[in-house]
Chain A
């Protein structure tokens, strides 16, 4: 089963020095934090805030290549969580065929936001994610940590 999720925020995690993308489902009952690197975080934040740069950034290029070829991003799916690494797939349609391509969730989300494509998460990942670690981490979260990106 897949649950559609939306990018609700982007935060900095001072403990790991990484950025966290917050995905939530429509009813706000499920939440999935995904740790991403700095360049991918800025790629996601630019798309969230509708910032356009004078020159195409890497994920803009990704989208322009697909657009130019006539390929369309149907959806992206966070498919799995193995040893603290999230896995995702980008689903494309091109010339009457469908393709799915392995990606990091950060790249997949950065591309989905630019393509207005929905983001889904495998329920299996949501369950795996509700671990003790996560609960402890969430307890320490303050609303202001969500900063200006919180929607």
Chain B
């Protein structure tokens, strides 16, 4: 991983501002709240993230619970997830895994959608990072409407 990483926390999951949109928006912010990263996700992934934020334990393991359980049982630790890139409005993420035997050098990296990576990070209490490069590429015109909403509204029931 090249370049600086900025640690983010999930502030909440909001419905998309566009009426009837199938998407939801996950709001991530850095510690100083100077950088906000909104990531558009599908309804299923949004729900997976919201349940983890609200510490809801479903009666049966949902898909991301299963991924956590699979990795835990195999002795794999998810060390971090990183939002690595944005291309044509699509965000890319990597999930970093360590096996019991491996040292830091042999860390495994898996390509992922940010939604899955975040849903997994919240379930494993691992940190979420974004590359400074991605933050630098955030177009203010995309972010400003969201910041306005953030200033005027609560994040729903998730914070």
A46 to chain B: closest CB distance in Å? 13
Contacting B at CB under 8 A, from A81-125, are 85, 87, 90, 92, 94, 99, 101-104, 107
A58 and B116 within 8 A (CB): yes
A69 and B116 within 8 A (CB): no
Report which of B60, B62, B97 forms a contact with A68, defined as CB distance below 8 A.
B97
A69 to B100, CA, bound (A): 11
B138 to chain A: closest CB distance in Å? 20
B114 — nearest CB in chain A belongs to which residue?
Answer: A55
A68 and B61 within 8 A (CB): no
B116 and A101 within 8 A (CB): no
Report which of A54, A65, A99 forms a contact with B110, defined as CB distance below 8 A.
A65
Selecting from B31-39, B70-78, B142-150, the interface stretch reads B70-78
Query: In the complex, what residues of A have CB within 8 A of residue B70's CB?
Result: 62, 65-66, 71, 90, 92, 101
Residue count of chain B within 8 Å CB distance of chain A: 29
Given contacts A65-B70, A65-B97, A92-B74, contact A104 B44 (CB under 8 A): no
A38 to B63, CA, bound (A): 12
Query: Is B95 close to A, CB under 8 A?
Result: yes
Contacting A at CB under 8 A, from B30-70, are 42, 44-45, 59-64, 66-67, 69-70
Report which of A38, A61, A62, A71 forms a contact with B74, defined as CB distance below 8 A.
A71
Query: Is B90 close to A, CB under 8 A?
Result: yes
A61 and B116 within 8 A (CB): yes
Query: In the complex, what residues of A have CB within 8 A of residue B73's CB?
Result: 92, 99, 101
* Residues of B that sit less than 8 Å from A by CB: 42, 44-45, 59-64, 66-67, 69-71, 73-74, 76, 90, 92, 95, 97, 99, 108-113, 116
